[in-house]
């Protein structure tokens, strides 16, 4: 799919006026522009200039990429006079945790539809969900489609009771979420411009595809010559590519803008999933330890650990040219480490 685009000579643009009526920040989540520090020890070891986009430091509810997305989804919920957010994910879902916190900050209730069975003792993100007073509904199934079905069912049930629920799909993937990450790309480019750094690659964990879609759409919209490489943690490559194409298309329609996108722009590697979603791999475990011990940065076992394992493998195999400037987009998730403690016990 290739979409025509108006000519753009620079990415240093104001927020497009077409964004203004479509997306509205509610200021309940992101308080700061997360930094993009270098990683000197890893850079020397790998032979590239490595930087981290620290969205684990978005400044709300222990951080993470979902804070940017919720900024706009909560604004939309408030505009619709909703009194409750309903979403879902796994028991250690970062999206669920930040949604519950955003709901409380905005004065709303929250219902979380979580896959599987209730654990004997909550930890990690699940403990935080309970501290936030979210209502937890378990699917008794590990199938994502069952979570999606129950989100819809729960939403209908509360609406029938006279409540005003606002349903958010797993991961918050939506046109608003894509727009939020298009603006995040502008933020990144401005930060790197100030340091005279031109990135060659961005690596990001690909799950529900919203963040990957927004980064890719932003890179293409602002005319930046950067390869966006997604390391998928769950979906097969073909499914992820189709979903990203759909999300970018829907965001372009929602914002009434042109986003140039060709099939070859959607780069996904599904070689690092391992045994399945949320099941740690030896390579991810090693990557988490490496980054912690070289740079003092914590990754998580579900998303960023696998994405880092993929990026390291690409670099070591020469798929990234020596001396390249590489940005690893840290999407957060460190609270999930505590739900996987057994995976790190020697």
Query: In percent, how much of the chain has pLDDT > 90?
Result: 85
93 classed as catalytic: yes
Structure confidence at residue 59 (pLDDT): 81
Compute and round to an integer the Cα radius of gyration of the chain: 19
Q: Whole-angstrom Cα distance, residue 164 to residue 205? A: 33
Does residue 15 register a pLDDT over 90? no
| pLDDT value, residue 3 | 40
Angle between helices 237-255 and 210-221 (to 10 degrees): 60
In tens, the pLDDT along 58-72 reads 988 999 999 999 998
Mean pLDDT of 29-42: 82
- Quote the pLDDT of residue 34: 86
**What gap in Å lies between CA 51 and CA 203, rounded to an integer?**
10
> Range(s) for CATH 3.40.50.1100 in the chain?
17-64+173-344, 66-171
Mean pLDDT of 136-152: 96
Q: Give the model's pLDDT for residue 108.
A: 97
For 157-170, write each residue's pLDDT tens digit: 999 999 999 999 99
Among residues 93, 115, 173, 213, which one is catalytic?
Answer: 93
Query: Which residues does 294 contact at the CB level (< 8 Å), separation at least 6?
Result: 39, 41, 42, 45
pLDDT averaged over every residue in the chain: 91
pLDDT at residue 266, as a whole number: 99
Task: Write down the pLDDT at residue 14.
Answer: 38
For 176, the 3-state DSSP assignment is: helix
The pLDDT assigned to 9 comes to: 35
Distance from C-alpha of 48 to C-alpha of 27, rounded to nearest angstrom? 36
The helix/strand/coil state of 159 is helix
Instruction: Give SS3 for 204.
Output: strand
Tokens standing for 141? 């199934």
CATH topology of domain 66-171: Rossmann fold (3.40.50)
pLDDT surpasses 70 at 257: yes
Does residue 28 sit in helix, strand or coil? coil
CB 113 within 8 A of CB 88: yes
**Residue 223 CB neighbour total at 10 angstroms:** 15
The architecture of the domain spanning 17-64+173-344 is 3-Layer(aba) Sandwich (3.40)
Would you state the pLDDT for residue 345? 83
Look at residue 205 and tell me whether its pLDDT is greater than 50.
Answer: yes
pLDDT higher than threshold 60 for residue 193: yes
The upper half-sphere exposure of residue 25, i.e. CA atoms within 13 Å in the direction of its Cβ, equals 12
Which helix H or strand E contains 269, and what residues bound it?
strand 267-269
Can you tell me the distance from the alpha carbon of 36 to that of 152, in angstroms, rounded to the nearest whole number?
Answer: 38
Q: Using the predicted structure, report yes or no on whether residue 29 has a pLDDT greater than 90.
A: no
| Spatial distance between the Cα atoms of 317 and 111, rounded to a whole number of angstroms | 44
* pLDDT digits 0-9 by tens, 78-122: 999 999 999 999 999 999 999 999 999 999 999 999 999 999 889
Q: If you average pLDDT over residues 20-40, what whole number do you get?
A: 69
pTM for the structure as a whole: 0.92
């Amino acid at each position: 799919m290739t979409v025509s685009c108006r000519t753009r000579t620079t990415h240093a643009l104001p927020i497009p006026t077409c964004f203004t009526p479509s997306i509205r920040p509610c200021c309940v989540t992101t308080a700061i522009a997360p930094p993009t520090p270098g990683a000197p020890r890893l850079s020397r070891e790998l032979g590239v200039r490595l930087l981290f986009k620290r969205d684990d430091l978005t400044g709300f509810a222990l951080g993470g990429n979902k804070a940017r997305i919720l900024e706009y989804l909560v604004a939309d919920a408030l505009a619709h006079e909703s009194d409750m957010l309903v979403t879902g994910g796994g028991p250690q879902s970062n999206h669920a945790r930040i949604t519950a916190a955003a709901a409380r900050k905005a004065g709303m209730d929250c219902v979380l539809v979580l896959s599987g069975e209730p654990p004997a003792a909550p930890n990690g993100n699940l403990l935080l969900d309970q501290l936030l007073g979210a209502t937890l509904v378990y699917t008794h199934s590990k199938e994502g489609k069952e979570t999606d079905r129950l989100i819809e069912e729960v939403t209908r049930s509360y609406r029938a009771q006279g409540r005003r629920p606002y349903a958010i799909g797993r991961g918050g993937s939506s046109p608003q979420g894509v727009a939020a990450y298009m603006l995040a790309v502008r933020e990144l480019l401005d930060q790197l411009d100030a340091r005279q750094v031109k990135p060659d690659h961005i690596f990001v964990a690909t799950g529900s595809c919203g963040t990957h879609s927004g980064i890719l759409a932003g890179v293409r919209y602002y005319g930046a010559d950067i390869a966006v490489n997604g390391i998928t943690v769950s979906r097969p490559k073909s499914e992820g590519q189709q979903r990203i194409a759909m999300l970018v298309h829907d965001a372009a329609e929602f914002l009434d803008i042109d986003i140039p996108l060709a099939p070859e722009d959607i780069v996904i590697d599904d070689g690092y999933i391992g045994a399945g979603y949320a099941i740690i791999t030896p390579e991810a475990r090693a990557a988490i330890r490496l980054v912690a011990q070289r740079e003092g940065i914590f990754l998580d076992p579900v998303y960023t650990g696998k994405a880092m394992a993929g990026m390291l493998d690409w670099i070591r195999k020469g798929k990234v040219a020596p001396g390249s400037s590489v940005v690893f987009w840290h999407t957060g998730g460190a609270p999930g480490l505590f739900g996987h403690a057994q995976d790190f016990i020697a």
